[in-house]
Amino acid sequence: MVNFTGKTAFITGGASGIGLGIAKACAKRGMNVVIADINKSAVDETVTLFENNCWPVLGLQLDVTDRAAYKKAADEAEYKFGKIHLLVNNAGIGVPEGKLWEDKNEDIDLAIDINYRGVLNGIKEIVPRILRHGEEGHVVSTASKAAIVPVPGFTLYNSLKMAVVTVMETLAVDLRETNVGSSVFCPGPYQSNLGYSSGRIRSERLGVEMPSFGAPKDGEKAPPPPRMDVDFTKVIRYPEDAGERVLRGVERGDLYIFTHADFKRGWDARAAAISKAFPDEPDNPDFQKVFPMLVYNPIYEKQEKVPGLAPAVK
Ligand SMILES: NC(=O)c1ccc[n+]([C@@H]2O[C@H](COP(=O)([O-])OP(=O)(O)OC[C@H]3O[C@@H](n4cnc5c(N)ncnc54)[C@H](O)[C@@H]3O)[C@@H](O)[C@H]2O)c1
């Protein structure tokens, strides 16, 4: 999607953190922005911020797991702005750290509902609307760097974000004859309210307190903070940076939108391990003729080298 002015972006989880960064980047490019977020007070604050900047906005309280509510929200967005062009499936929660066999079933279901089913709901509801009007469009889903290099102890988070990557890769195949693009956004660490939002949603849904991330379990002593000669202000990034990177990726038609070159080493190791794991046997040319789409996928050829970008500041 190359022309943004006057087009409409529908952004889930758009009232905070990375989603808000993406929303601001859209507004700065002259787009109408629909902020669809479960947190009503954050939606109201965001609408005020946008109105103060004279940025066209519609704020909607939406739980992405609720299919009927999603349809209503999409109808309201079209009623206000006519058409939706850019869908950003960004709403997501953090998941308590723990070994999978120790996770509560309720946490597993909640994480699947929001981090995976919410993305499917967005695609099912909005993509047909974009295809129907025929103008150029794009879908971005926020996965995580955890989908590329899994974080120890976060099976649920890693695997659901990996599922989002696969959804967007397959969507790119399924949309390749259209003028609608597909990208997966895999950010590294960004300043956001993920811990707080996830804790709030979890306690509302499951009636439990969310332990703060990395907190010691009952009976354990907190480990001393690591002594590192590091300026953390140079490590953590702001959502404005995420927004600029996402919009640049949409404009370029990137299938993958990454934020930190630092994670390439982990990916290279993973890709090399997978390559080494194929048995050292000759290919069967007949197999390739019978199952061409099983052995090769042309969508990867489109991804071009991404130049560096100075991190955007607040
Ligand atoms: N912040 C990071 O370092 C980081 C890194 C990698 C990936 N991510 C991903 O980025 C996305 C945005 O997270 P963030 O870090 O900006 O956190 P955030 O909590 O600041 O923003 C997430 C927003 O999503 C909303 N939300 C949660 N569940 C929802 C639901 N069911 N329906 C609608 N809205 C819902 C929350 O209310 C919140 O406003 C998430 O998918 C997260 O997994 C974040």
Burial class (CB in 10 A: 0-12, 13-18, 19+), 13: buried
**Does residue 86 contact residue 250 with C-beta atoms inside 8 Å?**
yes
Establish whether residue 90 lines the binding site of ligand 1, counting it when its CB lies within 6 angstroms of any ligand atom. yes
Report CA-CA distances (Å) from 152 to 158, 164, 264, 287: 9, 19, 17, 37
Establish whether residue 140 lines the binding site of ligand 1, counting it when its CB lies within 6 angstroms of any ligand atom. no
Establish whether residue 84 lines the binding site of ligand 1, counting it when its CB lies within 6 angstroms of any ligand atom. no
d(CA 15, CA 11): 9
- How confident is the model over 20-46, as pLDDT tens digits? 999 999 999 999 999 999 999 999 999
Establish whether residue 147 lines the binding site of ligand 1, counting it when its CB lies within 6 angstroms of any ligand atom. no
Establish whether residue 16 lines the binding site of ligand 1, counting it when its CB lies within 6 angstroms of any ligand atom. yes
Confidence at residue 314, expressed as pLDDT on a 0 to 100 scale: 67
**Does residue 255 contact residue 183 with C-beta atoms inside 8 Å?**
yes
pLDDT (mean) for 138-150: 97
Q: How confident is the model at residue 63 (pLDDT cuts 50, 70, 90)?
A: very high
What is the overall mean pLDDT for the chain? 93
CA of 254 to the centre of ligand 1 (A): 22
Domains and CATH numbers, the chain: 8-211+229-261+268-302 (3.40.50.720)
Say if residue 224's pLDDT is above 90. Answer: no
Say if residue 311's pLDDT is above 90. Answer: no
Confidence at residue 228, expressed as pLDDT on a 0 to 100 scale: 76
| Strand blocks (E) in the chain | 8-12, 32-37, 57-61, 86-89, 137-142, 180-186, 256-258
Confidence at residue 231, expressed as pLDDT on a 0 to 100 scale: 79
In 3D space, the residue among 170, 78, 195 whose CA is nearest the CA of residue 126 turns out to be: 78
CA of 41 to the centre of ligand 1 (A): 15
Q: How confident is the model at residue 68 (pLDDT cuts 50, 70, 90)?
A: very high
**Where is pLDDT greater, at 223 or 143?**
143
In the structure encoding, which two tokens stand for residue 295, read together?
């052995």
Beta bridge mates, 71: none
Confidence at residue 308, expressed as pLDDT on a 0 to 100 scale: 95
In 3D space, the residue among 137, 142, 131 whose CA is nearest the CA of residue 253 turns out to be: 137
pLDDT (mean) for 69-85: 98
Say if residue 71's pLDDT is above 80. Answer: yes
Say if residue 291's pLDDT is above 80. Answer: yes
Whole-model pTM: value is 0.94
